[in-house]
Structure 1
Amino acid sequence: MDRRPKVPESFTSSERGSRIPPWSMAIVAMIAVQLSNALSVPVIEQVGPGGTAWLRMCFGAAFLWLIARPSIRSLKGKDIPALLGLGVVTGFMTTFFLAAVERMPLGTTVAIDFLGPLTVAGLMSKHRRALVWPLLALIGVVLLTEPWRGSFDAIGVGFAVAAGTCWGLYNVLTQHVGDRFSGISGLSLTIPVAAVATLPIGLPQVIGGAFTWWVLPAAAGIALITPVIAFGLEMLALRRMSHTAFGTLLSVEPAFSVIIGLLLLAQMPSPLQILGIAIVVVAGAAAQRTGSRSEQPAVADPPVPANAGDAAARAPRE
């Protein structure tokens, strides 16, 4: 007879999830985000960036509710502002970014976009000298956009800057919401908000666009990658990482975007643009080289089913 004490399944699932390094979840999330952005380009040509972002949020909300089955009754009044804020920021971060991708190469857009979280990492640092790194990254962005060649797209840059601002706020709010809700239950509450927030922009573009039969399944597949898998992994990673550590790890995302843009969109950067990307990556890596969250914050809401968080962690491998 086995006299060993029985360990609850929920505990073992949590333990298995905690063995996955948070940096690995963040890396997979970054690749997934850039893959979904590249795959969104044909959809943007049909229903516009706003329509594409809105469809992604709608399908993402449906998938997340099926996976997490969040409990609305467990919400507390103090949690609502953060959930609403994260939802709005997420929706417009995606909308602004896709609007920039419509006008500029993926690698250039991500490099400009990256200034947002990099600046947040500098501001969150205990050392004010860390703010020099966003300035260095700005030099890399200038090399990427090459304004002296007359091909500078001010509107595209404006969209990318707006997306970067939302990205910086997204990182801060994602960690806060991730601290309050277990698994991906917080994400399942914010993505519907994102869908509602972007509806006034997205729905008219979908209705007035060149809508074809493959747009809906394509948007659904992209939504499964981002926001479901990518944002879910980011939220799980941010629960175990500091803002500065996560911001530092994000430094490789512009490089991922260049590689994916080259492979999927045939966007070949010039040698000077490659140097610009390298400068952005170095600036991001140097911004903060350490930072971890030694204690996991208490979770405010009742745990979601054990398989919800695990499913999000397993999804990229499956």
Structure 2
Amino acid sequence: MTDIPIPEIVAELRSARRDWRLAQGRSLEPRGRDLPSREVLRALLADLHGLLFPMRLGPPELRQDAEDFYVGSALDQVLHTLAGQVRLELRHTARHAHLSPRETDARGDHIVRQFAWSLPATRRLLDTDVLAAYHGDPAAHSVDEVLLCYPGVHAIINHRLAHTLHGLGATLLARLIAELSHGATGIDIHPGASIGGSFFIDHGTGVVIGETAVIGERVRIYQAVTLGAKRFPLDAAGQLKKGLPRHPLIEDDVVIYAGATVLGRVTVGQGATIGGNVWVTHDVPPGAHLTQASAQGGAAEPASVFPSPSPSLIHGVSP
């Protein structure tokens, strides 16, 4: 491999980095890394799981009479590490927002303090999710099995933590946590999505929940479900408009079966059931049952009511 021109490749890579930084209006002055670290956040998540559920997700040698000591020690380390990562994000953002280092550090301290105080409520909310998974799956033999084994439970733990950070303004950290969770579980939940208690994702692989989705209480969804956007409006300059409400509203006690797709700012009413592989782009009334016409064996509503990529195969069916 001695014939590979390493110095020339290094020089070309340096030139590519320089061109990118100039195009983005960034400084060429040498400095250290100024963005949060995926590796640090991965370890941070493991510690957060442990201090939230010490006897199940904490150290294997932990005894119950030492729980408080472990939780206190882990929490101190987590908050110290989190503070460093929050400051990195805020200082990076401050270059564009023209905030002083003193202002960014004060804001970072506030975020970490609020996050710390949110953890007891997060634990209580997660308890409802664990119970929902246990009661919602006949294959589950115990809540311990659910907590140790189910990817949907680990995804919602990560989401609850990321959602808190997102709401406090640490949006990049929240997105990094969401993507680490996505890689580990196959479940893609944007940290901006609002999800009520007793939420259960069964199996989970391929689930996508968009940024502005709002999910109520006691909702259950299965693998390959998408709660996505239908269209992406542009501004006067032809750029995508950011942050607009564009994902579904899922009311309480809804069940969405495998492969279903719900797109746009539509409402799925309380107690409705969306069958497998159904494509929904219009509001669904409370208590409705939507299935594929071929599986229902009855008359289907017109395809224009619940459009799909293949109207001849997938239709909305009233109860």
TM, length-normalised to structure 2? 0.29
Q: Which has the higher helix share?
A: 1
Q: Which has the higher strand share?
A: 2
Choose 1 or 2 for highest CA Rg.
2
TM, length-normalised to structure 1? 0.29
Higher RCO (CA < 8 A, seq sep 6+): 1
